Structure 1
Amino acid sequence: MFAFILAAVLAQAPVAPSEPGPPEPDAEAPEAAPPVPISALPPATHELFQRIQGRVAQVRIIERRSGTRSSIGSGFFVSAAGHAVTNYHVVSDMVIHPEDYSAELVLSHNPEPVPVRLVDVDVVHDLAVIQMDAPVGDFFALEDREPPQGARLFAMGNPRDLGTTIVEGTYNGFIQDALYERLHFSGAINPGMSGGPTLTGEGRVVGINVATMGNQVGFLVPVRYARELLARALKEKAADPQALLDTVRTQLLDNQERLTERLMEAPLPKQALGGYHVPGRWSPFLKCWGDTPHDPEVPYTVTNYQCSSEEDIYLSSSHRTGVVAYLHQHATTQKLGALRFSALYSALFSQDPDAVEATRQDVTNYRCKSEFVDVDGLPVRAALCMRAYRKFPGLYDVVLRAATLNAATSGVDTSLTLAGFTADNGRKIARRYLEGLSWTK
């Protein structure tokens, strides 16, 4: 049986010619690609790490009363004079509470921590420059050349106090439609790596580790902002605490001015919601969602439409700012009478909108002014509320609450939240926002 099968297989196999035939007339043998010189290949990860690990350090924030660490981050040297770049959020306690916190660096070649002073900050882009007194012999030169998308990158830092670590990942370009510029790094950036560099295989810094969403989704500050901050810091010595607060305040004021101009110059699109039009996606940096919960036992329907900036500015562990967000709720019923719907509608209006994170040490209580206004023939009840920043005079969180009053069993309740704006700009944006309300019936 085996012989029969073998014979059948052999009978079907092609017979090789006894001599090679002539080549096809148009066929050409492919030329082999020339070998890539070893010098042109990116270095192995361990070679890169060994070459530059002395340029990266751990940043420790020290609570003065106890003399112990309160938080950690990373930094990297950028000048022979001992300047290092890190994140603002790593050293924010030194800005907000300078009497309670100091900072030190832990170097790879020196187990003893080295005190550092805070020289300058860029709160909008989450960067800071610190400096130690001793000079350094090895540091990064900050350039500004964007790598091609898909390039292999290496993030360095001190994750979870485990020592200096290097992580491979991929460069995926700028985050589209972001309010504050960020680079997308597909790699693991863990707590403690904030402020460390992300670089190419040649050792060229392209970004500064700043945040992560987990699952290999990391974010970097573009290196050009660090280069601009360093240029200022090289001209200055350590700033006193009040000067640093004034710097942060100026940067926040400039940022909200840019945001206000951006919003006021853009047309305010209208979004259909029930029998109304409401402000839609006002700017590309806003992300919008809609939803209608379905519960057959509830005798009314509330459809939500909301837009918000997905990024904010970190001021301290308890205080965020630089936010634009709004929420529309269209309520309607065919089962409730006018009186019961009025009670429901009043309850919606009395709800507090999602507040931007802050504590009593950061902001005052809200002060509100309520009035009835006419928006192109549509009666609206509106309340404008503001709370002041305690450490940054002239800045406020602004909340506008408004509800249409033209129908007995339907209406739109809306809220606008602006964090870190002047009172004048907050009112200006709120007025423009109200103009986006209209009734289509």
Structure 2
Amino acid sequence: MLTILLLAALAQAPAPVAAQGLPTGAPDAGTPAPAVVPPLPVATLTPATHELFERIKGRVVQVRIIERRSGTKSSIGSGFFVSAEGHAVTNYHVVSSIVHHPEDYTAELVRDGKESETVPVKLLAVDVIHDLAVIRMDGAVKDWFELAEREPPQGTRLFAMGNPHDLGTTIVEGTYNGLLQDALYDKVHFSGAINPGMSGGPTVMGEGKVVGVNVATMGNQLGFLVPVVHARALLARAREVKESSPSVLLAEVGSQLLDNQQRITERLLATPVPTQTLGDYRVPGRWLSFLKCWGDTPHEPENPYTITNYQCSSEEDLYLSSDHRTGVVAYDHAYLTSDKLGALRFSALYTATFGNDAGGVDATKEDVTNFRCKEEFVKVGGLPMRTALCLRAYKKLPGLYDLALRAATLNASTSGVQTSLDLAGFSADNARAIARRYLEALAWTK
């Protein structure tokens, strides 16, 4: 069972001790004067964890999503007050069901663990790109967090707070490790345990200023925070909102996603596609730094052919709902070759492994339409290819689509490359433009 982590206080520098037995006045010529070490300024001393916890725990709340029909909690997360007027910051993924299904869900918060004193809250503003939301309760609060104006130095001792597994407010000590490098979406690497239920809670420095919002974990003390700059920006927007509604917020989500895909598209199309050697071919390699690429050739001696795989992915996505993620760029190449199969048997294998199933990222029928595909034979730079290009529309977010491209080279009798590209949450025109640029990077090296 997890318990509240109350870590030992930092050892304080002892006060200087007066020298004993020394006469007043000038020291003896043969005796060096004792060194006087000034005490460490109090402002720079980090408080003990239990002292910090007691001072700020009342500013952290549990956010509950309530299913209307049963009147019981459907999910929980954390949040924290950021204004005297009752504004609180949490994660978008904590409150997303209110945006997508307002007829089924509402939200409330619990302060100081008082189960009998739940407080209804309104959702005022969302930032789906950075997984943030601002909620507000009616009435003033006496104690709230100040949002830091800048990121702390790398290595700074931090404290994450939240309500893990519905066990009550918890404080976890960790370390600030700076922004993730080569990431598509801004995140802070936090060396500390962020457990389920702590999402949306604050991570603070010793003086109590918030430097990040808990958002995700990979386990093994690998946690991630939303940088405080995005929380500051969203709070400023939320302060201007008097009333909001799920329909307005859903439209805002769509607008943010359209802006985001335009930014990604411009980055991709502004950069020539680097290529990677794969057998007798050149294929799209690591297009931009936010893509992570891997390759391997499985060793299966019993097979009369070999398949070498090379794949790249953004390894990040945007949360829309528990069943729907978006904001993905991913592609995969498979080089098939055989010196044992003849042309006819290889052709049969090659046809069987061609992935004309659209696939794509996970989504439900409530979220997206069925894929509509166009399959044809084309030549790209003189290289004959079989292609299948598929699009499906987002039902609640007009103008957004998922694209799935599947292609196979057709120029050799016992070898070839099959490639796939998946884009989630792009306009149809931008998705086609990226797919076209992607295909144009394929080439035969012989």
TM-score by length of 1: 0.92
Which residue matches 1:368?
373
Task: Return the alpha-carbon distance in structure 2 between the equivalents of residues 29 and 147 of structure 1.
Answer: 39
CA positional deviation for 1:34: 3.3
Q: 1:331 aligns with which of 322, 332, 336?
A: 336
Letter in 2 for 1:81: E
Instruction: Structure 1: give runs of 5+ residues left out of the alignment.
Output: 1-27
CA positional deviation for 1:352: 3.7
Question: Per-residue displacement from partner, 1:356-389 (whole Å, max 9, x unpaired)?
Answer: 1111111111000111111111111111101111
Q: 1:48 aligns with which of 28, 33, 52?
A: 52
Q: Do structure 1's residue 106 and structure 2's residue 110 form an aligned pair? A: yes
Task: Return the alpha-carbon distance in structure 2 between the equivalents of residues 400 and 48 of structure 1.
Answer: 53
Q: 1:137 aligns with which of 119, 139, 142?
A: 142
Q: 2:130 aligns with which of 114, 125, 131?
A: 125
Question: Per-residue displacement from partner, 1:273-309 (whole Å, max 9, x unpaired)?
Answer: 0000000000000000000001111000100000000
Letter in 2 for 1:330: Y
Taking the TM superposition and a 5 Å limit, the aligned residue runs for 1:232-381 are: 232-350=237-355, 352=357, 355-381=360-386
Letter in 1 for 2:136: Q
Alignment size in residue pairs? 414
Task: Return the alpha-carbon distance in structure 1 between the equivalents of residues 418 and 43 of structure 2.
Answer: 65
Question: 2:146 touches 2:208 (CA, 8 Å); kept in 1?
Answer: no
Question: 2:319 touches 2:326 (CA, 8 Å); kept in 1?
Answer: yes
Task: Return the alpha-carbon distance in structure 2 between the equivalents of residues 300 and 33 of structure 1.
Answer: 75
Q: Secondary structure at the match of 1:76?
A: strand
Task: Return the alpha-carbon distance in structure 2 between the equivalents of residues 440 and 110 of structure 1.
Answer: 69
Q: Specify whether residues 214 and 239 from structure 1 end up closer, same or farther in structure 2 by C-alpha distance, changes over 3 A only.
A: same
Task: Return the alpha-carbon distance in structure 2 between the equivalents of residues 419 and 30 of structure 1.
Answer: 70
Question: 2:163 touches 2:198 (CA, 8 Å); kept in 1?
Answer: yes
Q: 1:63 aligns with which of 45, 64, 67?
A: 67
Q: 2:155 aligns with which of 145, 150, 156?
A: 150
Which residue matches 1:90?
94
Letter in 2 for 1:278: V
Task: Return the alpha-carbon distance in structure 1 between the equivalents of residues 326 and 113 of structure 2.
Answer: 39
Task: Return the alpha-carbon distance in structure 1 between the equivalents of residues 401 and 424 of structure 2.
Answer: 7
Task: Return the alpha-carbon distance in structure 2 between the equivalents of residues 90 and 29 of structure 1.
Answer: 63
Letter in 2 for 1:42: T
Letter in 2 for 1:384: L
Q: Specify whether residues 32 and 401 from structure 1 end up closer, same or farther in structure 2 by C-alpha distance, changes over 3 A only.
A: farther
Question: Per-residue displacement from partner, 1:111-168 (whole Å, max 9, x unpaired)?
Answer: 4100001001000000000000011111112232211111100000000001111100
Question: 1:299 touches 1:333 (CA, 8 Å); kept in 2?
Answer: yes
Question: 2:386 touches 2:408 (CA, 8 Å); kept in 1?
Answer: yes
The structure number with the bigger radius of gyration is: 1
TM-score by length of 2: 0.91
Q: Secondary structure at the match of 2:199?
A: coil
CA positional deviation for 1:343: 1.2
Q: Secondary structure at the match of 2:118?
A: strand
Question: 1:328 touches 1:413 (CA, 8 Å); kept in 2?
Answer: yes
Instruction: Structure 2: give runs of 5+ residues left out of the alignment.
Output: 1-31
Q: Secondary structure at the match of 2:346?
A: helix
Task: Return the alpha-carbon distance in structure 1 between the equivalents of residues 438 and 278 of structure 2.
Answer: 15
CA positional deviation for 1:29: 10
CA positional deviation for 1:320: 0.1
Question: 2:359 touches 2:404 (CA, 8 Å); kept in 1?
Answer: no
Q: CA RMSD in A?
A: 1.4
CA positional deviation for 1:40: 2.8
Runs of 4+ in structure 1 deviating by more than 4 angstroms, as ranges, are 28-33
Which residue matches 1:18?
none
CA positional deviation for 1:31: 5.5
Question: 1:402 touches 1:415 (CA, 8 Å); kept in 2?
Answer: yes
Task: Return the alpha-carbon distance in structure 2 between the equivalents of residues 377 and 29 of structure 1.
Answer: 87
Which residue matches 2:14?
none
